[in-house]
Structure 1
Amino acid sequence: MNWDDLRIFLATARAESLTAARGSLRMDPATIARRVARLEASAGTALFLKSPQGYRLTEAGLRLLTHAEEAEAALSRGIGALTGSAEQLSGAIRIGAPDGCATYLLPQVCARIAEKHPGLDLQILALPRIVNLSRREADLAITVSRPKTDRLEGERLSDYKLSLAASKDWLARNGTPQSLSDLKNLRMIGYIPDMIFDAELDYLSTLGVDRVPLASTSVSVQLEMARAGGGLAVVHDFALPAAPELQRVLPDAVALTRTFWLTTHAGPKDARLERITGLLRDGIRAEIARLEAKTAPPQAAATVPRQR
């Protein structure tokens, strides 16, 4: 088994299909299939479960994956040490993120990184659920909770703030609530209750709200509903600069804080992924600080206790 075999194995495992692996390997699917079959014959065991839906790793494949990634990381470090090529980054990196982060933070951050590293392909996977790194949906993920499996590791990325807000037109028509108890009689915008994929996103129950007349799995859709005068919504402070129609409501009673985590596979990482992780970390922290400063309330508000 040589490095070229491992390179094809890694690309197929990460893409989970021959067609998807074609781009990074620059081979046609039939050639990749033959190389994978040859590798399996050499290993004396099946490394993939093959179906019309794609290629999924077997238990043997998962065991090989760990060692193949360690070999990839060691090779990357060695090449960097010999060539001094630490400055320019290249290749594809897929970043999984909740859609609020993917919509209002990552575009600016990725654009700045791409400007400095034109050979780098940055892909943002925005989903209304937890991105499955174990299934290789992405190379790294930004999550709203710390990972709970030993196969993943999480680094605290940044706290971010959320506020209750409504459009100025809606407030003019319906009046401004004076207390949290008023929210029960007003139209609320939020997540579809039975599709909340992380307890950290269950903002409205924290505020004592049990009915959500306007709901979506998407943060950006919720924000647009509020901008359109649909009702009251809990919105990210870093998204408020993109919604000048919105006005904070009950700022002294509602000031939520949550945390983004930078989640990666546990174990050794190649030098390229380490550098990209560092660029994302610095960029997101700076972007949150920049955007939140634009709409910061005149004084700190009392926080509503977080539910765990």
Structure 2
Amino acid sequence: MAQNWDDLRVFLAVARGQSLSAAGKRLRIDPATVGRRVARLEQRMGTPLFAKSPLGYELSASGARLLPLAEHAEQAMGAAGELLGTSNTHGNELNGSIRIGAPDGCANFLLPQVCARIVQDHPDLDVQIVALPRVVNLSKREADMAITVSAPTAGRLTVQKLSDYKLHLAAVPQYLQRASALQSKEDLRHHRMIGYVPDMIFDKELDYLGALGVERVPLASNSVSVQFNAIRQGAGLGIVHDFALPSAPELKRVLTDEISLTRSFYLVRHSSDRRLQRLNRFAQALVAGVRSEITRLEAQP
């Protein structure tokens, strides 16, 4: 039974990583061993589970049918591990490894302190924060859960609203002193704007400058942190999360009466993971921590 599950675990890693090397990194075994394990499973089942293509290892028709069954087995093994491990834990202490994906603004300015408090309360817990300028692919198990700026409407996912947050236009005084007058939104066309690379905006909720009618972005990046630091260097004006402003007191909000944006964070998880109490407890602590941190940071002058 254990050997059968071990082979299914390898199958899932290849299906999600679409290569032997990616699966090997995730499982911490060499790619050649991954290939042999897949071949053994295919021989046992009497059918090929993958087809090699220019994109990597793609599921065959048989592999696609096996995938949901393997995922159910994964969830069952996780639940069994939690049940059998209860005698080795103390109270509600969390352990093991949990990976959370998030857009880099949230990952840089909120999650470090929130997760630091969680791991301080749970010394045997390892938290991995994956900061990506794109949507985290939960179906490929890039993370155990993800924070997003839009609520997904497709897939076998559960979605929980985390919190609203605010954003404003900001710059350093040195830039404002040497730049053109800034008295209304119409004056933005005379200023150097900092924002996202237009064709790399991965969610419509992030098109802040487009919503303001800004057509040209002279200094752009797909990273919120790069934009933030460019604004700090006096390179121009940009939209900044209010929760990031306390980390850069030199930044000043401008045109606050005209320009004030509100967005939301959502916590997204696999639907089947609702049965895993370990992930449920972590999600509960994460939600409470993020809400509290946004409230604390946005209240600072």
TM-score, structure 1 normalization? 0.84
Deviations 1:213-241 (A, max 9, x none): 22111111111111111111110001101
Other-structure match for 1:63: 65
Shift of residue 139 of structure 1? 2.5
Is 1:291 aligned to 2:293, yes or no? no
| Counterparts of 1:80 and 1:128, CA distance in 2 | 33
Say if 1:210 and 1:98 are closer, same or farther in 2 by CA, change over 3 A: same
Shift of residue 134 of structure 1? 2.6
Given residue 143 of structure 1, which amino acid in structure 2 is its aligned partner?
T
One of 163, 179, 195 as aligned partner of 1:190: 195
Say if 1:59 and 1:126 are closer, same or farther in 2 by CA, change over 3 A: farther
Other-structure match for 2:121: 116
Could you tell me which runs of 5 or more consecutive residues in structure 2 were left unpaired when the two chains were aligned. Answer: none
One of 2, 10, 14 as aligned partner of 1:8: 10
- Whether the 8 Å contact between 2:170 and 2:252 is mirrored in structure 1 is yes
Could you tell me which runs of 5 or more consecutive residues in structure 1 were left unpaired when the two chains were aligned. Answer: 296-308
Given residue 289 of structure 1, which amino acid in structure 2 is its aligned partner?
T
Question: What does 1:1-308 correspond to in 2, within 5 Å?
Answer: 2-22=4-24, 25=27, 27-50=29-52, 55-84=57-86, 85=89, 87-174=92-179, 177-269=182-274, 270-295=276-301
Q: What SS is found at the alignment partner of 1:89? A: coil
Shift of residue 256 of structure 1? 0.4
Count of matched residue positions in the alignment of Structure 1 and Structure 2 = 295
| Counterparts of 1:25 and 1:260, CA distance in 2 | 31
| Counterparts of 1:273 and 1:57, CA distance in 2 | 28
| Counterparts of 2:25 and 2:211, CA distance in 1 | 46
- Whether the 8 Å contact between 1:13 and 1:136 is mirrored in structure 2 is no
- Whether the 8 Å contact between 2:180 and 2:190 is mirrored in structure 1 is no
Q: What SS is found at the alignment partner of 1:294? A: coil
Shift of residue 66 of structure 1? 2.3
Deviations 1:276-305 (A, max 9, x none): 32232222222212211223xxxxxxxxxx
Deviations 1:34-92 (A, max 9, x none): 22221122222223344697544444334333223323333333443454247343333
| Counterparts of 2:14 and 2:288, CA distance in 1 | 31
| Counterparts of 1:82 and 1:132, CA distance in 2 | 30
Identity %: 60
Shift of residue 19 of structure 1? 4.2
- Whether the 8 Å contact between 1:177 and 1:183 is mirrored in structure 2 is yes
RMSD of equivalent CA atoms: 2.6
Say if 1:78 and 1:134 are closer, same or farther in 2 by CA, change over 3 A: closer
- The answer to which of 58-67 and 124-133 deviates more is 58-67
Shift of residue 15 of structure 1? 4.6
| Counterparts of 1:123 and 1:72, CA distance in 2 | 20
Say if 1:50 and 1:87 are closer, same or farther in 2 by CA, change over 3 A: farther
- Whether the 8 Å contact between 2:228 and 2:240 is mirrored in structure 1 is yes
Say if 1:166 and 1:107 are closer, same or farther in 2 by CA, change over 3 A: same
Deviations 1:100-121 (A, max 9, x none): 1111111112222222333333
Given residue 187 of structure 2, which amino acid in structure 1 is its aligned partner?
D
| Counterparts of 2:82 and 2:273, CA distance in 1 | 16
| Counterparts of 1:90 and 1:24, CA distance in 2 | 19
- The answer to which of 202-211 and 108-117 deviates more is 108-117
Q: What SS is found at the alignment partner of 2:290? A: helix
Shift of residue 212 of structure 1? 1.5
Given residue 275 of structure 1, which amino acid in structure 2 is its aligned partner?
R
| Counterparts of 1:26 and 1:180, CA distance in 2 | 53
| Counterparts of 2:24 and 2:277, CA distance in 1 | 24
